[in-house]
Amino acid sequence: MTEAPAIDDSLAAHIAEHIDPSRPPRRDEVPRVEEVAHEPLPEDRFLDREISWLAFNERVLELAEDPLLPLLERVRFLAIFASNLDEFFMVRVAGLKRRIATGLAVTAASGLSPRQVLEAISERAHELQERHARVFADTVQPALAHEGITLVHWDELAEDEQDRLRKYFRRQIFPVLTPLAVDPAHPFPYISGLSLNLAVVVVNPGTGKEHFARVKVPPLLPRFIAVDAAGRPGTPAKAGVDGGPMSFVPIEEVIGHHLDQLFPGMTVQEHHTFRVTRNEDVEVEEDDAENLLQAMEKELLRRRFGPPVRLEIAGSITPRIRRLLARELGMAEDEVYELPAPLDLTGLNLVADLDRPDLHFARFVPTTPRQLAEVESATPTNVFEAIRRRDVLLHHPYDSFSTSVQTFLQQAAADPGVLAIKQTLYRTSGDSPIVDALIDAAQAGKQVLALVEIKARFDEQNNIEWARKLEQAGVHVVYGIVGLKTHCKLSLVVRQESDGLRRYCHIGTGNYNPKTARLYTDIGLLTCDPEIGQDLTRLFNQLSGYAPKSRFHRLLVAPRSVRTGLVARIDREAAAARDGKDAWIKIKVNSMVDEATIDALYRASQAGVQVDLVVRGICAVQPGRPGLSENIRVRSVLGRFLEHSRIFAFAHGEPVEGGAEGPEVYIGSADLMHRNLDRRVETLVRVLDPDHVATLIDLVDMSLDPNVAAWHLAADGSWSRRHLDDAGTALVDQQTMLIARHRQRRRTAVS
């Protein structure tokens, strides 16, 4: 197994070298502007990141509440909200609690103490979870019933339906159930994180004594059991295809009505559902880990036993059982969430998967990018030829991932002229054609390097398996630089051609995952530009070997130069505004919390720069605050696709060889967060093609168009959704508009 390379203080020294004012600038920087004396910025200038995240999830909930959206898509957003909140508690809340308990917590940039943040989270989370449950019970569930899709209780089923479910219980559920008693001989059982459970009270008729037991709902069985007309309860993947009525029963109700079979000779007195969320963040002290892969595997086992951070209980629970659960799990009152049944609405994905086209978004088929499609017509899928003609800018999911990036790597694996492939893998799919291509290439005798990030949160086990599979196939597998996650999205293909070696590159904003590429909006660049090829060669050498002094031409690389490079460009716009020039900054990211970058944007706004930010999730900026940020606007766009691309555009760029001074635009993997800028290897690449530059700027501008639906952020941290005009007519949905553009492009290409 290839070990992760160790590094010493050279990384810190290299960062120090990067910010040394006496050192001349490199090509991956910009000349420093003249220092300007600034008035101190107000101390209360940042919104709290945790509260901002909850506001993001509230925007997801607003989509579930929107009657203009297709019904089953609203069901999906309910499930997404629940899944998001689970992860928030497992990671952010758990981490905050751990830091408070160990005395390591510090006052947040927002000025809130750790306990104030925790109290604010608890208050907002209780409000949002109750609202989430009400939306399902009062709005979405009745709408589903109107469409013939009903979630019913056991007592509402017809006798023949109950008979079928009794048979299903005996065949499919009963054999995998394990009742766990609690008494002096049986301590209170361990409750695994995110599992759904029944708290059961039984009475011994002979003695009249009560006993408590826990029954875990098997997680691999359907959360909601569909009962079809043929009498075959099961998963609803193909149910309702003809628009006919469908009924679903929560699995815990089926179990609850058969508890007598689990406790024969006992009387079941009461039962209630509950669910526990645990700390499931993974921490590996890499400096002490002789083998990172084995250390991660051990940590994943420990994750299952993290301390609980949230207890969800059904509203029907009796006070004594509530007290018992809270006491045994060590939960404070504000950590208990009493909600209407059913709990765990992440299971609604089963209902959202119903084959009812009339209740979903209209079907969308990605198109092959025009440059690749043009080559296809002459020489099928000759990606290398297309890239040699001109850089290819990709916008997924509108541009097909399978006919662009996937084809690029598959063709590289099969091409006898290709000598080497180097690839980063942060997250990929379970049946990854990308991994298969790398294995094929290695088996064909090519030099293949895969940098697998086994610390990708919640994908750790999947990536460990891929790492072992790749190693067994002869791929050189490495895990990057100790202390840093490798989050950049890079592919490098070295090809022997008639005029020598040529390097083909892909740099993207999203993972090499064909499944999420159909759901996430991401930008990618396919290029054979020699400078980018040289940059990627140097970066891969740094990641797999020892090259801490590498310098780059067209890349900004974290933790060395992303923050400093962006701040320098922001300062340059501020200087241009002070000189009376038309200065602007346009940024699209998933999250923005880095204080140094935000402060630079505040000062740019004060200098007169128009700053436009499109932020999907967390945003600590206070826009429109008098004297601080009058020139900053913040928008957020959510929809059928997850906005995931990162674009950084500045009005004034350094001239490029053979070109005039103009906008400078970067795309890449980095969000404006501490973890991205300080603890990850991230890359941003400058895009030079004028058409591509205009396209990327247009994408950001589209989100800011007053005729396009978006959320607007106010200085106090509140978001307002603007999706209707003054007459109540729906504003344009940006993603729908982009789908229409790409469909038109396909029709134009065909004609």
pLDDT at 36 over 90: no
What is the mean predicted confidence (pLDDT) over 449-456? 73
Which amino acid appears at position 278 of this protein?
R
DSSP state of 631: T
The tokens for 527 are 């290029």
Whether 487 is catalytic: yes
Task: State the pLDDT at residue 374.
Answer: 66
Helix (H) or strand (E) holding 292: helix 292-303
Domain 10-44+557-750: give its CATH superfamily.
Endonuclease Chain A (3.30.870.10)
Reported as a pLDDT band with limits 50, 70 and 90, residue 742 is confident
Helix (H) or strand (E) holding 246: strand 246-250
Per-residue pLDDT tens over the stretch 69-118: 999 999 999 999 999 999 999 989 998 998 888 888 889 999 999 999 99
Q: Name the CA dihedral angle for 55, 61, 62, 68, rounded to a multiple of 10 degrees.
A: 160
The tokens for 521 are 């909006």
CB atoms within 10 A of CB 33: 15
Task: State the pLDDT at residue 654.
Answer: 80
CA angle 514, 471, 410 (to 5 degrees): 35
The tokens for 695 are 């396209």
Cβ atoms of residues 633 and 611 within 8 Å: yes
Reported as a pLDDT band with limits 50, 70 and 90, residue 125 is very high
- Percent of the chain scored above 90 by pLDDT? 67
Average pLDDT, the chain: 86
Is CATH 3.30.1840.10 the right assignment for the domain spanning 49-359?
A: yes
Task: State the pLDDT at residue 7.
Answer: 35
Q: Which CATH class is domain 370-553?
A: alpha beta
Q: Do domains 10-44+557-750 and 370-553 have the same CATH topology?
A: yes
CA 188 to chain centre: 35
236 or 622, higher pLDDT? 622
Reported as a pLDDT band with limits 50, 70 and 90, residue 11 is very low
Per-residue pLDDT tens over the stretch 529-584: 999 999 999 999 988 876 666 789 999 999 989 999 999 999 999 999 999 999 99
Half-sphere exposure at residue 516, Cβ-oriented, CA atoms within 13 angstroms: 17
Task: State the pLDDT at residue 313.
Answer: 97
What is the mean predicted confidence (pLDDT) over 682-687? 96
- The active-site residue, picked from 132, 487, 506, 644, is 487
Task: State the pLDDT at residue 279.
Answer: 87
pLDDT at 749 over 80: no
What is the mean predicted confidence (pLDDT) over 119-125? 96
Per-residue pLDDT tens over the stretch 284-313: 443 433 454 455 445 445 545 678 999 999
What is the mean predicted confidence (pLDDT) over 262-266? 93
Close Cβ partners of 51 (under 8 Å, ≥ 6 residues apart): 110, 117, 120, 121, 124, 717
Which amino acid appears at position 339 of this protein?
L
Task: State the pLDDT at residue 655.
Answer: 74
Q: Domain residues of the chain, as ranges? A: 10-44+557-750, 49-359, 370-553
The tokens for 471 are 């190693």
Per-residue pLDDT tens over the stretch 326-335: 999 999 999 9
Determine which of 63-67, 135-139, 432-436 has the lowest per-residue pLDDT on average: 432-436
Per-residue pLDDT tens over the stretch 14-28: 333 433 333 444 545
Per-residue pLDDT tens over the stretch 344-396: 999 999 999 999 999 999 998 898 888 887 654 444 458 999 999 999 999 99
Close Cβ partners of 463 (under 8 Å, ≥ 6 residues apart): 425, 427, 428, 452, 453, 454, 456
Task: State the pLDDT at residue 14.
Answer: 39
Q: Report how far residue 232's alpha carbon sits from residue 257's, in angstroms, rounded to the nearest whole number.
A: 19
Cβ atoms of residues 591 and 564 within 8 Å: no
pLDDT at 727 over 60: yes
Q: Report how far residue 222's alpha carbon sits from residue 248's, in angstroms, rounded to the nearest whole number.
A: 10
